[in-house]
Amino acid sequence: MTARSPTAAPAASKRLMILIAMAMFVLVVDTSLMNVSISAVVNDLQVTASGVQSAIALEALVSAAFILINSKIGDLIGRKRAYVIGLVAYAIGALAMTLAQGLTAIVIFWAIVGGLGASLLLPAMQALIHGNFAGPAQKQAYALVGASAAIAAAVGPLLGGFLTTYLSWRVGFGLEVVIILAVLAQVRLIRDVPYTGSRKIDLVGAVLSVIGMGGVVLGILVWQEGGEYVVLLLVVGAAALVALAWWLIRQKRSGRVSLLDPDLFRHPNFTAGISGQLLQQTTLGGAMIALPLFLQMTLEYDAMKAGLSLAPLSLSMFGAAMLAGRRAGKRRPAAVIRIGFLLASIGFAGIIPLVPRVDSGWWLVLPLAVAGCGLGLLVSQLNNYTLAPVPDERISEAAGVNSAAGSFGLSFGLAMAGGVLLATLSISFTNLTQDSTVIPPAEKQQITATLEHDAEVMSNSRLAAQITGQPPEVEAEVLAINAEARSRSLQFALLVPLIAGGIGLVNSFRMMRLPDIKPPTERVGLD
């Protein structure tokens, strides 16, 4: 089957580009809606903020853990079919959010089913763009998909905040279902792209990849929830990743099929780019946990105000990505990436000291805009830098690895920031309570025992409603301790994106020492 000619039917080609871009929009806006609606979901479903955080991290974890094997499954069942199945799975997750009455439905349908859908959809989207477009049209298609992702990141918090405040957080997810149905109604425009490689599946490699990436993030999630066997999960995950590397090399040397070609990692530009992709997404994931919680639990903003307060981050990210994509000119991609990590690190470093001192989101405008510009520069360059040294026949496989690194980084950032936040909250609250001269000893023991099992970020208004009946001086002391412990925990959580950005900055100096490589064809990579 031949690829669709971009000159034969320009109108149909444009519609196809928009069709694929709409699917990418849904993928990105979904997480934005979830993050800005945390407080409303917690109140409506009577669940904990940490439970919702875990669902968000689990969705990214499932996507990361299964993206490599689902990339191969998409090759075998057909890229178009994988694309459709991925969209349907995502629609099921969004529909579950509109109907959910508890956290269980969110975890099963939104996090797990939706995460599996994303792991099918992203690699299939990459292959379909390559098969349906060529030359300048292919570059335009990738640019439009990238722009849709940036637009979704920009409008997601605003849209989610408006809908959650004035209608319901469920409406946003219902709109996702409508968009997906519109895309599926026009899916006939997409031509399938035949797969000519081996039909065999590397089951051992697939299992090791799932255990490896899943084990590491799952261990952090269990630690976040105060569960057991944390060290065991982390060790198993790390061992599985090491075993995966050994297995891939062994399969390559013996001439047998492998989950992915280990020779991809022989090129230093590719490995440096993958590292940058992982660190950029870790930076973003850590911020996505700490910032909404600060706005909704510390400043007690509703979803609309929280979305508006996050607008400097998302809008500057969108603007910087578009501007850098058009005007980077002869500037080295590695140089732009270095500036991106530097600005992101400066922005998040500027927020940390403000957390316990500000009473309005206006104080965050400048550091959020600086961090957003940095992230936008990274989005504009990292994918091209990573995929440039890869030959066309390996581009789909390389893009799968690129997407896996991004998904793993996002889930790792979400889980790590959440775990650090809750651990710091529990320790700080316990220590401050024990040092208090106002709270009676019996109350101190009860607070400590409760925190060991159910530590969560809580606004002072919600906490005040739960401690009624205490003497006024005790209530005031508990609220003061909660404010101090909560601020301290949010500051420590923001160290996750700051440290990830700093490591990314160091990695960018390595990129600067490597020669620039132009891609074999005009292309722009997917996140």
Residues 81-100 pLDDT 10s: 888 999 999 899 989 888 88
Other beta carbons less than 10 A from residue 253's beta carbon: 10
Q: What is the pLDDT of residues 68-79, one digit of tens each?
A: 788 778 878 887
Q: Which of 21-35, 387-401, 506-520 has the lowest mean pLDDT?
A: 387-401
* pLDDT at 102 exceeding the cut of 90: no
CB 232 within 8 A of CB 169: no
H or E element at residue 277 = helix 268-293
- What digits encode the pLDDT tens for the residues 249-268? 888 888 887 777 788 888 88
Q: How far apart are CA 23 and CA 472, in angstroms?
A: 54
pTM for the whole structure: 0.77
Give the start-end residues of each E strand in 425-525: none
Helix (H, G, I), strand (E, B) or coil at 325: helix
Name the DSSP class of 186: T
Spatial contact of 64 and 410, defined as CB atoms under 8 Å apart: yes
CA distances from 504 to 199, 342, 419, 515, 522 (A): 37, 9, 21, 18, 26
Contacts of 331 (CB under 8 A, 6+ apart): none
What is the C-alpha to C-alpha distance for residues 247 and 264, in angstroms, rounded to an integer? 15
